[in-house]
Structure 1
Amino acid sequence: MGVLHGDCKEVLKSLGDASVDLAYLDPPFFTQKTHSLSTRNNTAEYSFEDRWTSLDDYLAFMAEVLRASRRVLKETGCIFLHCDRSAAHHLRLLLDQVFGSENFQSEIIWAYRRWSSAKKGLLNAHQTVYFYSKTGDYKFNTIYTDYSPTTNVDQILQARVRNESGKAVYRRDETGNVVIGKEKRGVPLSDVWNIPFLNPKARERVGYPTQKPILLLERIIAIATDVGDCVLDPFCGSGTTLVAAKLLGRDYIGIDISLDAVRLAEERLRQPVRSESQLLADGEEGFLEKSDAERRILRALDAVPVERNRGIDGFLRSYVDGHPVAVRIQKADEDIEMAKRKLIAASKTKQCAFTILVRTTRNEDYSLFDWTDEDLLVIDSYDVAIEAWLDERNHSGS
């Protein structure tokens, strides 16, 4: 158990046959780039080369590593190969050749959201993890997740059978009553994993390029191993796989050709840190602060909603003179002057050309409000406008 320095092709030769339970590979992706990143305090920079003379050269290297990984796997062992669109289709064929297409188990999609500038084509928002076993007799631990919010109670509680047409129907007893099914633990984990990408302020981030979240590795390790099993990572980088293995009570072997990476991994193993994801704990809904009424107003203005900002509720999709236009909706607990101050203060750091303040109440004295700001447009919400119109009609008819 430990972190080994050297070329994984050579180091793997020193490991015994059938000695590990799980191999996780996060190799170079054939991006033809040099990847580098600095630590948060800029005290160190880590980098690695992902440049190859040709695709054939890259695939020959990967074939050698895959064959060596298969040799050290136990008969019940599994391999998870992490890749992206750069060479995923080539690696899938290579895995079929080395492990056999009959031992392909899953194509896991790691889906995440990242900010990115616009480009021609679809935004890259996932990576792929291929899951193969060494044999058909492989270790697998089922993980259960919560039912979808659209699942009704009958679907959870009632037993089902196939009718003569092959359609799933609720099982009924001799008297026609619905039969309650067996105890259910949830929905088995799917092959699409929504795990947040590490944000720049995550506690576990160490400044290593292409660092993966511990949560991703913990899930893989939990699926394919038990406590005390051995996990191998031939491209361990900053040691995320090893940290996850240690936190879950597994043995581990990490290999990396970079001495800086080995030292970083050893440092992380001395003090393992896992980031707690608020997104996973609360779901995306946990970040939504806008009321339905506020969202309707923003949609009417063709504005993009902004969460977690004290002064701005959204930005118009169309810029003015190349600058954004900030929108604030007056809150129930603030007067119009307070709403204006919050909007102006927040927009100063966003290089806004203009600002829009949406008034949502008429029950206050506006005589002291400064309406002369040329960069501020104050408009009434639909509710306020309709209420004012109705009052005017009622007064004119009395």
Structure 2
Amino acid sequence: MSTQLFGGDCLEIMRDMEADSIHLIYLDPPFFTQKNHKLTTKDRQHTFSFTDTWTSHNEYIHFLRERLQEIKRILHPGGAIFFHCDRNASHHIRLLLDEVMGADKFRAEIIWHYRRWSNAQKNLLPAHQTIYYYTKSDQFTFNVLRQAYSPATNVDQILQRRKRDAAGKAIYDRDENGRIIPNGAKKGVPLSDVWDIPYLNPKAKERTGYPTQKPVLLLERIIQIASRENDLVLDPFCGSGTTLIAAALLNRRAIGIDISPEAIALTQKRLRNPVKSESNLLQIGRDAYKNANRDALALLQGLDIVPVQRNKGIDAFLRDDINGNPIPIRVQRPDETVPETAASLYKAAKSKNAPLMFLVALQEDRCFPFGHELPPEIVVIDGPTISISRIVAQMKESLAV
């Protein structure tokens, strides 16, 4: 994908850009911290700094207003802007965005929530930043992203289709025989406006040493929401270049601008070798560490599943389904026999109209008590422990002959 970098004042550079040409603009300008920011890289070879001091709020708002007016001019009619700020000036910025973009073009106030540690004792610990989302018109690109179900969501809420009754209350949908209608493939819930994305820790692979560096995961999410492949993305305060890295990873064209030569050089270096930190916390959810069986989920990695947090007989459902009916999975526990695992799975899944159930066996013993047999809906597959042990035993046997 094409990526361009410009050094200089974004106001002057944007004035030379074509009107209606940029599909998505993300800006992370100075936050009105009234501080000089400085940070040195881990290898102590480079120091990055910038000044965020102003004589007044009026000076700061005038600085932003001039640039927002150009941003609106160059923004595509179907485009969007995401303005990143924090508690220092977010209340002023919201009013300014309403003025320049139009209050009716406001789409969302996104809260980026993260965990950071501090010994602050005289105030609440800051643990979020704000991203305002505006569009240029009422016809704009918006891609629905989905996230995992909350651990507080029970299995029936996931599996059973719901509708609104005459009073507008959500109820389970039923067919003409009074049976609850299944919900079909499990897609997750639409993304909310509170994003729990970890802050870059000092040891993160993508950490560069730039003072206000944002995670690639955060910018990827913004780009996925409001643009399509090959669209043009602009970051007029590109800093360490995270927006451009995310755009390249998602097959978008991008333009970055920064007044600092050091920031431009850093971005050029990152673009030659894009790095993104992976977050296990984000992948399975913070609460999953407390509620899900992590060993069971580890064995199911690679499958497109929805983990189940509050059910003793089911570990996960495939996102796929059979005629709208769910496909549950359970992994055998070390203290269970296969028949016991099968019984737990069948008891939990039979009321869900599951035509197919998978049991992942971790032990060879498949003996069922007299008079009992494996329900026909359950398919037993060997876990890696059994498969590897069996192959090794077969190899030893063949070599001994």
TM > 0.5 fold call: yes
2-structure distance, mates of 1:30, 1:5: 22
> In the alignment, which residue of structure 2 is the partner of 1:22?
24
1-structure distance, mates of 2:160, 2:31: 46
Q: Shift of residue 121 of structure 1?
A: 1.6
> In the alignment, which residue of structure 2 is the partner of 1:280?
282
2-structure distance, mates of 1:242, 1:15: 18
Matched residue SS, 2:70: helix
Q: Shift of residue 285 of structure 1?
A: 5.7
Map residues 217-236 of structure 1 onto 2, 5 A cutoff: 217-236=219-238
1:125 aligns with 2:127: yes
Gaps of 5+ in 1: 289-398
> In the alignment, which residue of structure 2 is the partner of 1:163?
165
> In the alignment, which residue of structure 1 is the partner of 2:114?
112
Gaps of 5+ in 2: 291-401
Match of 2:101 among 99, 105, 115: 99
Q: Shift of residue 79 of structure 1?
A: 0.2
Q: Shift of residue 138 of structure 1?
A: 0.6
State the Cα deviation string for residues 171-227 of structure 1 (Å, max 9, x = none): 222322222335441100111111110011111111100110111001101111111
> In the alignment, which residue of structure 2 is the partner of 1:89?
91
Q: Shift of residue 241 of structure 1?
A: 0.5
The one-letter code sitting in structure 1 at the alignment partner of 2:155 is: V
> In the alignment, which residue of structure 2 is the partner of 1:69?
71
> In the alignment, which residue of structure 2 is the partner of 1:256?
258
- Taking a change above 3 Å as real, the CA distance of residues 279 and 153 of structure 1, as seen in their structure-2 partners, is closer
2-structure distance, mates of 1:174, 1:222: 41
Q: Give the conservation status (yes or no) of the 8 Å contact 2:197–2:282.
A: yes
> In the alignment, which residue of structure 1 is the partner of 2:245?
243
Match of 2:36 among 28, 34, 37: 34
2-structure distance, mates of 1:252, 1:11: 15
State the Cα deviation string for residues 88-132 of structure 1 (Å, max 9, x = none): 010001111111111111100000011111231210000000001
Matched residue SS, 1:79: strand
Matched residue SS, 1:130: strand
The one-letter code sitting in structure 2 at the alignment partner of 1:177 is: R
The one-letter code sitting in structure 1 at the alignment partner of 2:158 is: I
Match of 1:148 among 137, 144, 150: 150
Q: Give the conservation status (yes or no) of the 8 Å contact 2:234–2:254.
A: yes
Q: Give the conservation status (yes or no) of the 8 Å contact 2:24–2:227.
A: yes
2-structure distance, mates of 1:183, 1:37: 48
> In the alignment, which residue of structure 1 is the partner of 2:179?
177
RMSD over aligned CA atoms reads 1.6
1-structure distance, mates of 2:170, 2:265: 56
- Taking a change above 3 Å as real, the CA distance of residues 273 and 172 of structure 1, as seen in their structure-2 partners, is same
2-structure distance, mates of 1:233, 1:74: 15
Q: Give the conservation status (yes or no) of the 8 Å contact 2:151–2:288.
A: no
Match of 1:49 among 29, 48, 51: 51
- Taking a change above 3 Å as real, the CA distance of residues 286 and 189 of structure 1, as seen in their structure-2 partners, is closer
State the Cα deviation string for residues 220-260 of structure 1 (Å, max 9, x = none): 01111111111100000010101111111110000001111
> In the alignment, which residue of structure 2 is the partner of 1:190?
192
Report % sequence identity.
57
User: Which runs of 4 or more aligned residues in structure 1 lie more than 4 Å from their structure 2 counterparts after TM superposition?
Assistant: 285-288
> In the alignment, which residue of structure 2 is the partner of 1:203?
205
Map residues 318-337 of structure 1 onto 2, 5 A cutoff: none
2-structure distance, mates of 1:165, 1:51: 55
Q: Give the conservation status (yes or no) of the 8 Å contact 2:112–2:130.
A: yes
Matched residue SS, 1:249: coil
Q: What is the number of equivalent residue pairs in this alignment?
A: 289
Q: Give the conservation status (yes or no) of the 8 Å contact 2:108–2:133.
A: yes
Q: Shift of residue 287 of structure 1?
A: 6.7
> In the alignment, which residue of structure 2 is the partner of 1:60?
62
Match of 2:273 among 271, 274, 297: 271
> In the alignment, which residue of structure 2 is the partner of 1:318?
none
1-structure distance, mates of 2:256, 2:166: 54
Matched residue SS, 1:100: helix
Q: Shift of residue 160 of structure 1?
A: 1.9
2-structure distance, mates of 1:138, 1:184: 27
